[in-house]
Amino acid sequence: MPLSDHEQRMLDQIESALYAEDPKFASSVRGGNLRAPSARRRLQGAALFVIGLAMLVSGVAFRATMIGSFPVLSVVGFIVMFAGVVFAITGPRVMGKDKSAPGAGTPRAKKSKGGGGGSFTSRMEDRFRRRFDE
């Protein structure tokens, strides 16, 4: 069921108040898009899975890796396996900028190698302006 005009306006007001109050939190909630994983990322995830599987099996096979009756190496191996699968099936996040937002097309300030006095402050001022111009 779509929102009424009044509800949509209220939602827009709440969203703009959130951006004004805490822009860092608002941008983290907005998140980014997930891309499809590359072949290299899938291969790395599969390698992590195999390493985790080897750790899991060797943790059960060798008694030296147990603390009491708790198989520490097997638990760590399972965690590595799980991380490998998650790594393989997810792509990196892409933080896309909205082209209609003010300041989205402005070039960034060049980095100075000498660590000049005004470069850091000007970058911070530009970042502050970009966040509050939305």
The beta strand positions in 16-125, using DSSP E, are 33-34, 66-67, 70-71, 93-94
Question: One-letter amino acid identity for 26?
Answer: A
Question: What pLDDT is attached to residue 78?
Answer: 95
Per mean pLDDT, which range of 5-9, 77-81, 109-113, 118-122 is the poorest? Answer: 109-113
> Which residue reads 């499809």 in tokens?
36
Question: What pLDDT is attached to residue 96?
Answer: 52
pLDDT in tens, 79-103: 999 999 999 988 776 655 444 444 4
pLDDT in tens, 25-66: 777 766 655 567 788 889 999 999 999 999 999 988 887 777
